[in-house]
């Protein structure tokens, strides 16, 4: 069973809970790395935790959420081996898998409505990497 690590700060907590329930209902195993309330916390801590879970193989892929998705995606992308894509549309979700083989998806809890966020999650989970010329580029990313 594919395991998804999921993490957020307080700005993404509400959406994280919605996404967590959705992916669990779809049959994925979920590792919730926090945060566990709307009390203010620091998004770099949670982006790093999720990125490391994916990079070290504890999870197959990850989902991170903060207010905009920006800060926590920056944090996740600091972890070597992570390719985190912040998506605000279904098309971006498909393309970040097809072209970037994103192993972490970032969402904005204050900027993307829950219904759209779940469509983005599904599109990202259900789309395959195209490989070919894109693999040369993702290999370049992984060497950075
Ligand atoms: C927290 O207030 C907010 O700055 C954070 O959730 C995120 O949007 C940062 O990029």
Indicate the domain borders of the chain.
Answer: 3-143
Q: Which positions are annotated as active-site residues?
A: 66, 99
Q: In angstroms, what is the span from residue 54 Cα to ligand 1's centroid?
A: 22
Between CA 110 and CA 121, with CA 115 as vertex, the angle to 5 degrees is 90
Q: 75 alpha carbon to ligand 1 midpoint, in Å?
A: 12
Quick check: 62 and 5 in contact, CB under 8 A?
yes
- For 3-143, the fitting CATH number among 3.30.470.20, 1.20.120.530, 3.60.130.10, 3.40.1400.10 is 3.40.1400.10
Measured at the CA of 4, the angle between CA 120 and CA 93, to 5 degrees, comes to: 20
What Cα–Cα distance (Å) separates residue 105 from each residue in 39, 136?
23, 21
pLDDT at residue 1 greater than cutoff 90: no
What integer pLDDT is reported at residue 108 of this predicted model? 98
Residue 70 beta carbon below 6 angstroms from any ligand 1 atom: yes
Instruction: Render pLDDT for 48-104 as a digit per residue (tens, 0 to 9).
Output: 999 999 999 999 999 999 999 999 999 999 999 999 999 999 999 999 999 999 999
Q: Is 67 in the pocket of ligand 1 (CB under 6 A)?
A: yes
Beta bridge partners of residue 61, listed in sequence order: 4
Q: State the average pLDDT for the chain.
A: 98
Cβ pair 104, 51 in contact under 8 A: yes
Please work out whether the CB of residue 43 comes within 6 Å of at least one atom of ligand 1: yes
- What is the distance between the alpha carbons of residues 50 and 46, in angstroms, rounded to a whole number? 6
Burial class of residue 144 (count of CB atoms within 10 Å of its CB; 0-12, 13-18, 19+): exposed
pTM of the model: 0.98
Distance 48 CA to ligand 1 centre (A): 15
Q: What is the largest CA-CA distance in the chain?
A: 44
CA dist., res. 102 & res. 96, Å (int)? 6
| Tokens linked to 106 | 């970032």
């Amino acid at each position: 069973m594919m395991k998804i690590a999921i993490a957020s700060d307080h700005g993404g907590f509400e959406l994280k809970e919605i996404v967590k329930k959705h992916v669990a209902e779809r049959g994925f195993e979920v590792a919730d790395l926090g945060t566990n309330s709307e009390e203010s916390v620091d998004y770099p801590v949670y982006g790093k935790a999720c990125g490391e879970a994916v990079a070290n193989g504890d999870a197959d892929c990850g989902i991170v959420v903060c207010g905009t998705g920006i800060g926590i995606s920056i944090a996740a992308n600091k972890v070597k081996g992570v390719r985190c894509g912040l998506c605000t549309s279904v098309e971006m979700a498909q393309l970040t898998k097809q072209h970037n083989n994103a192993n972490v998806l970032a969402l904005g809890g204050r900027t993307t409505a829950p219904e759209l966020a779940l469509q983005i999650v599904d599109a990202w989970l259900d789309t395959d990497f195209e490989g070919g010329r894109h693999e040369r580029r993702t290999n370049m990313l992984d060497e950075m």
